[in-house]
A and B are shown apart, each in its own frame.
Chain A
Amino acid sequence: MTLSRVLIAEDDVDIQKVIRMSLKMRGVQEIVVTENGEDCLAQLRNFQPDVILLDVMMPKLNGYETCKRLKANPATSGIPVIFLTAKAQHFEVKEGLDAGALGYLIKPFDPMTLHDQIAALLQKK
């Protein structure tokens, strides 16, 4: 599947850059970065991404809650959500998937294969 529009919610500026470069390298055309869950939800009013990459620990609205709100809203419930987070414990992964995410990728990730991992998860959908 071709990945061309990605919305990222990530509060760490350095990680934002890494994700952005990693995806751009593989031909993703539009990448919108937000710094917290609230901004991510707001951004969806004028941006329709192929996938949303969500961090968990973010100011204002955390990733789990953001994902639940996305899935509760009929306008956004169809957008695939993938967590990209440093929260790696078993129960944390479960919480993310229970919130309605399509997949759960754990940081640190390999920037050279991030695109493939996202694409594989989207295929699963």
Chain B
Amino acid sequence: MPGPSMQTSRLLRQFLAVSGIAAVAVLVLGLVLISQLEADNDPAHKRTLVSLFTGFIMIIVLLMSWIHARLVWRRLQRLLRGMEQIRGGDYPYLVVEGNDEVADVVRGFNQTVEELRHRDEKLKNWAGQRETELVKLSQSLEEEREKLDTVLDAIGDGVIVLDSENKVLMANQRVSEVFGVPLESLSRADLNKLIDQVRHRLVNPELVEEKLRQMQADPSRIEEITLELDEPGGQAIRLYCAPVRGADGKVLGRIATSLDLGRERELERLKTEFLSTISHELRTPLTSVKGALGLIRGGAVGTVQSEMRELLDIALTNTDRLIRVINDILDVFQLERGQARMRPVSMPVAQSVTRAVRAIAHQAAGRRIKVETSVPDALPNVKGDPRRIEQVLVNLITNAIKFSPPESSVQVSARLGGEMVVVSVRDHGRGLSGDFQERLFGKFEHAQGALTRENQGAGLGLAISRHIVSAHGGRIWVESEGEGQGSTFSFSLPAAERTGGALLLGGRQDEAVPAGPRLILVIDDDEDVARVISYVFETMGHRVISAHNGREAIELARRHRPDMMTLDLVMPDVSGYDVIRELRQVGDRRRIPIICISMEFDPGRAISMGADYYLEKPVDIERLREVAERALATPRGGNPS
């Protein structure tokens, strides 16, 4: 289409054409008027004619202009209406009238409208397809969401997904019940605010707040928060909060699972109740059995003949075996729950080895098995509860004896391995297969099947030993080349810190050990007991002085500097503990070996204060002799081995 500047405007030409017709009409009328004026002599008439003619011309010009403008305006009006229709969403087609510029504009308009319509149709088709896809996607998402919600709600425990600011992104019905907040309100809720809502019900609000602070300070931290609710039944919820990381390892948020401890505690309560009841119901008749047998055996109803004594011993031994099983069951469950108390002190392993070997001596002799010990003098002390370590050793040596062939030997040894002292018990029995080694330290495990095993026991000893060693920060394991090759059970315990060699055992010679009779101080407020103990030492060829209260004991110890002393811990006024404290003051280089002989519940306390040995009352005479010999053989200034 030619542009207006390219050639004379068709609209102008049209106007000129109309104007030309008008001009011709005016010219014809002008000629008619001139002829009339030439024929007419009346000036007034002439003026009238001229005026009429002029008026006529003006009317013609105005009429022509109006007609032309009207035509153009009408077409432009249609264009404007067309545009209005486009805005209203229609695609109008305008009839092209004439062949002027307006007609060109109308044609252009129609063409644009057509293109627009075409483009819109394409857009609508595309949008329709996208919408269909979107609907499908949305349905699929909804289905997935429903599945996820069903799965989340089916989980008995609460699940919360949190963003990096601890705001809830997703949670299940259980969480809503825990916090007493409708599920819909949980979205974008702040975990801290949710916990705030139950704060007044918490038994441990300070602890919970501290945990939340730690979690916020270190987003990568795995935190365990226990919400203990102060209400009947004592509901408790444990939240395990673990970080969720992106592909780049950055923490994106957290996922927290809440575990209702109520069920766990109820099960625990039932287990405890069951154990308590069963233990009580077994112990009660055993008390009568052991009591009656013990009284007869002890001569309470007359002299016991040797054959009868033998039978009574069998009955008593087996009663004790039954009691041990009950004790072991209680022990293992208490150890599992961390309820058993450990009282670690710095202690020589050699002492526990000696005591354990003595405890199983009868058993070893019965099976004609030799128990050999090898504990280096220079081995450092370990941090351990003496009674518990002895219990582990008794368990291991008992097992070794059980599974060793008669006339063989069992070796008990100890060595230093880094910061740990490793104690091993080796037997030459049938050994262990690889798969059994894996589960050996579990409860109720036996080397043979339940119906075929040759040896007695509930299968709890190793489980108990594992718990005891773990509670001391050590490890227990077994090595066996396989069946028929024997086994070595070992456990490690942390070595006690050495302070200037003070904890080193016997090997250090601060001064020579004198030979011949020695001076022993016996301290006991019960004069009969003191007399018996004194008699034991006198038969060993030593001199004895005795004290019957703590004050006297301290005075005699300072004045005579005895080579050894035995000490009752429970005495009026100044107790045995006070005596130890007084004598073990800093700078006491001439250290008097102390053997405590008492019935205290807590031997670890005396050992930790500086006593060297602990013997329970009523004291075993042979054991007292052996401990005394060991204590007297220890150089003064060193520690006993």
| B287: A residues at CB distance < 8 A | 12, 15, 18, 86, 107-109
For window 133-180 of B, CB contacts with A under 8 Å fall at: none
Known pairs A25-B295, A117-B599; A108 contacts B276 (CB<8 A): no
User: Which of B283, B288, B340 touches A90 (beta carbons < 8 Å)?
Assistant: B340
Whether the pair A91, B339 counts as a contact (CB closer than 8 A) is: yes
Whether the pair A108, B599 counts as a contact (CB closer than 8 A) is: no
Whether the pair B339, A108 counts as a contact (CB closer than 8 A) is: no
| B330: A residues at CB distance < 8 A | 88-89
Q: With A and B bound together, what is the CA distance between A21 and B288 in angstroms?
A: 12
| B457: A residues at CB distance < 8 A | none
Q: Which residue of A lies closest to B301 (CB)?
A: A21
| A121: B residues at CB distance < 8 A | 599
Query: Residue A50 at the B interface, CB < 8 A?
Result: no
For window 76-125 of A, CB contacts with B under 8 Å fall at: 86-92, 106-113, 116-117, 120-121, 123-124
Whether the pair B290, A89 counts as a contact (CB closer than 8 A) is: no
Query: Residue B525 at the A interface, CB < 8 A?
Result: yes
| A117: B residues at CB distance < 8 A | 599
Interface of B is mostly: helix
| B283: A residues at CB distance < 8 A | 86, 88, 106-108
Q: Which residue of A lies closest to B283 (CB)?
A: A86
Query: Residue B235 at the A interface, CB < 8 A?
Result: no
Q: With A and B bound together, what is the CA distance between A90 and B339 in angstroms?
A: 7
Query: Residue B279 at the A interface, CB < 8 A?
Result: yes
Say how far A88's CB is from chain B's closest CB, in angstroms: 6
The 8 A CB mask of B266-297 against A (1 = contact, 0 = none) is 00000010011001111111111111101100
User: Which of A57, A87, A109 touches B291 (beta carbons < 8 Å)?
Assistant: A109
Say how far B401's CB is from chain A's closest CB, in angstroms: 25
For window 578-612 of B, CB contacts with A under 8 Å fall at: 598-600
User: Which of B281, B290, B298, B570 touches A108 (beta carbons < 8 Å)?
Assistant: B290
Q: With A and B bound together, what is the CA distance between A48 and B382 in angstroms?
A: 49
Query: Residue B300 at the A interface, CB < 8 A?
Result: yes
User: Which of B272, B282, B288 touches A12 (beta carbons < 8 Å)?
Assistant: B288
Whether the pair B272, A89 counts as a contact (CB closer than 8 A) is: yes
> What is the total number of residues of chain A having a CB less than 8 Å from a CB of chain B?
31
Q: With A and B bound together, what is the CA distance between A125 and B288 in angstroms?
A: 29
Query: Residue B617 at the A interface, CB < 8 A?
Result: yes
> What is the total number of residues of chain B having a CB less than 8 Å from a CB of chain A?
38
Q: With A and B bound together, what is the CA distance between A91 and B338 in angstroms?
A: 12
User: Which of B272, B275, B280, B526 touches A86 (beta carbons < 8 Å)?
Assistant: B280
Whether the pair A18, B599 counts as a contact (CB closer than 8 A) is: no
Whether the pair B300, A21 counts as a contact (CB closer than 8 A) is: yes
Query: Residue A22 at the B interface, CB < 8 A?
Result: yes
Whether the pair B288, A14 counts as a contact (CB closer than 8 A) is: yes
Which of B279, B294, B327, B600 is most buried by chain A, counting CB atoms within 10 A of its CB? B294
Q: With A and B bound together, what is the CA distance between A17 and B294 in angstroms?
A: 13
Q: With A and B bound together, what is the CA distance between A90 and B332 in angstroms?
A: 12
Query: Residue B341 at the A interface, CB < 8 A?
Result: yes
| A109: B residues at CB distance < 8 A | 287, 290-291
Query: Residue B26 at the A interface, CB < 8 A?
Result: no
Q: With A and B bound together, what is the CA distance between A113 and B617 in angstroms?
A: 9
| B284: A residues at CB distance < 8 A | 12, 15, 86, 107
Known pairs A86-B280, A124-B570; A111 contacts B298 (CB<8 A): yes
Whether the pair B279, A88 counts as a contact (CB closer than 8 A) is: yes
Say how far B336's CB is from chain A's closest CB, in angstroms: 12
Ordered by A's residue number, 16 sampled pairs between the chains whose C-beta atoms are within 8 Å are A15-B287, A17-B292, A18-B295, A19-B291, A25-B298, A25-B300, A87-B276, A88-B279, A107-B283, A108-B286, A109-B290, A109-B291, A111-B298, A116-B618, A120-B617, A123-B571
Closest 6 A-B residue pairs measured CB to CB?
Answer: A18-B291, A86-B283, A120-B599, A14-B288, A107-B287, A108-B287
Given contacts A92-B276, A120-B599, 16 further A-B contacts (CB under 8 A): A14-B285, A18-B287, A18-B291, A22-B294, A57-B280, A86-B284, A87-B276, A87-B280, A88-B279, A88-B283, A91-B339, A108-B290, A109-B287, A111-B295, A112-B294, A123-B525
